[in-house]
């Protein structure tokens, strides 16, 4: 009899512990999702979900070889590194033809991001990809402006734009776009570099960045993860291009001198622990581990979503939670990541102070409502 009672108690005890752990997981999820965040690294084009891609193709009368979102995801399963991903990214974005397409893509993104705590977004866009297919700069900027206006009317969010130049195309094309975009320079926060990482791209784009800086535009650049010549490229974007942020930047952890310089200059690292549709064991662990190591080393590290529509529909809050699990990050790490996103955002000092206070107030209110969570790491 004693043994039976003991077994029942043990059973109930285990169940209570599991239930408490599930409840804590759910609350931690709510906590991370609700943390105010700045999204500093995402590509307008890469936010397009498979469903929206199909809807835009249909309304523009474009035949695509995919008859369902699943078929688009199958195509995305071919992506396994930066060049193979960009090949599909360029293919999918080719259905965009009208300002309304850009408006719809961006508004869908802002809604999703807002639901995961984003209160300020700095959105990359690739004008060259649209000009190559016959859109005009005016159409691109009109689409971006319409998306921003609709989002700001609907949500408490601020939005800025970063004009990207393609690293695998001639620098002269980038210079021509920079000049042609002069009427819209006031709409831009800054410029950046993306697409596949070609060797010594920092030397190639030095004159373009000098010109952009002379127009008062802020500077950032991708240094993607585990690319060839990555350490040389990190030094190049810092010393030759003079960037304030590095998109990805995770390989800074591999070079102590580089890490020292990044910290001394307060350069923001906009990490992305994303997943391709293809299963790639270790990818999340590697990236999340680098984020955690850089955070522990005191770098201005934050987490962002890059191309959420084309990488499993995982947005900023989803990625922070996945990275937390993969690298054993703490609740405090989640708070620091969110604060760093505002510390390195291109916003006024007043706005920065307001957003940082917003995070402190959010944490205090959450802890008051859930005192049992304060001790959960």
Site residues (vs Zn ion, CB under 5 A): 306
Q: Which does 287 bind (CB under 5 to 8 A by kind): ligand ADE, Zn ion, none?
A: none
- Cβ-based nearer residue to Zn ion, 311 or 352: 311
Residue 192 beta carbon to Zn ion: minimum distance, rounded to whole angstroms: 9
Residue 303 beta carbon to Zn ion: minimum distance, rounded to whole angstroms: 13
Residue 5 beta carbon to ligand ADE: minimum distance, rounded to whole angstroms: 59
Q: Which does 204 bind (CB under 5 to 8 A by kind): ligand ADE, Zn ion, none?
A: none
Q: Which does 130 bind (CB under 5 to 8 A by kind): Zn ion, ligand ADE, none?
A: none
- Cβ-based nearer residue to Zn ion, 192 or 236: 192
- Cβ-based nearer residue to Zn ion, 39 or 306: 306
- Cβ-based nearer residue to ligand ADE, 92 or 107: 92
- Which residues lie across from 220 on neighbouring strands? 245
- Cβ-based nearer residue to Zn ion, 271 or 317: 271
Residue 84 beta carbon to ligand ADE: minimum distance, rounded to whole angstroms: 12
Comparing every residue's Cβ against Zn ion, the nearest one is: 306
Contacts of 173 (CB under 8 A, 6+ apart): 128, 165, 166
Residue 213 beta carbon to ligand ADE: minimum distance, rounded to whole angstroms: 21
Residue 62 beta carbon to ligand ADE: minimum distance, rounded to whole angstroms: 21
Residue 259 beta carbon to Zn ion: minimum distance, rounded to whole angstroms: 21
Comparing every residue's Cβ against ligand ADE, the nearest one is: 194
Q: Which does 122 bind (CB under 5 to 8 A by kind): Zn ion, ligand ADE, none?
A: none
Contacts of 231 (CB under 8 A, 6+ apart): 251, 254, 255, 258
| Closest to 277 measured CA to CA, from 131, 117, 70 | 70
Using left for φ > 0, alpha for ψ between -120 and 50, and beta otherwise, residue 61 falls in: left
- Cβ-based nearer residue to ligand ADE, 155 or 231: 231
- Cβ-based nearer residue to ligand ADE, 104 or 224: 224
Q: Which does 46 bind (CB under 5 to 8 A by kind): Zn ion, ligand ADE, none?
A: ligand ADE
Enumerate binding residues for ligand ADE (CB under 6 A).
Answer: 43, 46, 82, 89, 194-195, 222, 224, 306-307
Q: Which does 224 bind (CB under 5 to 8 A by kind): Zn ion, ligand ADE, none?
A: ligand ADE
Say if residues 288 and 322 touch (Cβ distance below 8 Å).
Answer: yes
């Amino acid at each position: 009899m004693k043994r039976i009672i003991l077994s029942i108690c043990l059973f109930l005890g285990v169940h209570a512990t599991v239930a408490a752990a599930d409840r804590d997981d759910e609350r931690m999820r709510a906590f991370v999702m609700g943390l105010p965040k700045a999204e500093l690294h995402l590509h307008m084009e890469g936010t397009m979900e498979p469903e929206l891609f199909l809807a835009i193709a249909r309304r523009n009368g474009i035949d695509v070889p995919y008859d369902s979102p699943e078929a688009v995801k199958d195509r995305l399963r071919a992506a396994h590194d930066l060049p193979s991903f960009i090949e599909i990214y360029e293919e999918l974005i080719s259905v965009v033809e009208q300002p309304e397409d850009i408006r719809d893509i961006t508004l869908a993104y802002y809604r999703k991001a807002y639901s995961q705590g984003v209160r300020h977004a700095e959105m990359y866009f690739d004008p060259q990809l649209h000009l190559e297919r016959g859109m005009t700069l005016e159409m691109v900027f009109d689409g971006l402006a319409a998306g921003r206006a609709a989002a700001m009317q609907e949500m408490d969010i601020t939005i800025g734009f970063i004009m990207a130049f393609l690293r695998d195309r001639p620098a002269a094309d980038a210079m021509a776009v920079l000049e042609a975009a002069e009427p819209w320079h006031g709409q831009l926060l800054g410029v950046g570099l993306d697409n596949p990482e070609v060797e010594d791209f920092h030397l190639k784009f030095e004159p373009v960045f000098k010109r952009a800086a002379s127009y008062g535009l802020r500077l950032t650049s991708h240094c993607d993860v585990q690319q060839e010549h990555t350490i040389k490229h990190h030094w190049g974007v810092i010393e030759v291009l003079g960037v304030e942020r590095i998109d990805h930047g995770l390989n800074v952890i591999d070079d102590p001198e580089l890490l020292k310089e990044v910290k001394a200059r307060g350069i923001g690292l906009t990490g992305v622990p994303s997943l391709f549709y293809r299963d790639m064991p270790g990818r999340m662990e590697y990236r999340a581990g680098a984020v955690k190591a850089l955070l522990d080393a005191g770098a201005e590290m934050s987490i962002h979503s890059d191309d959420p529509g084309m990488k499993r529909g995982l947005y900023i809050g989803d990625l922070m939670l996945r990275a937390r699990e993969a690298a054993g990050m703490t609740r405090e790490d989640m708070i620091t990541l969110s604060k760093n996103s505002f510390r390195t955002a291109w916003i006024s000092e007043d706005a920065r102070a307001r957003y940082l206070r917003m995070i402190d107030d959010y944490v205090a209110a959450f802890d008051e409502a859930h005192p049992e969570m304060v001790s959960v790491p």
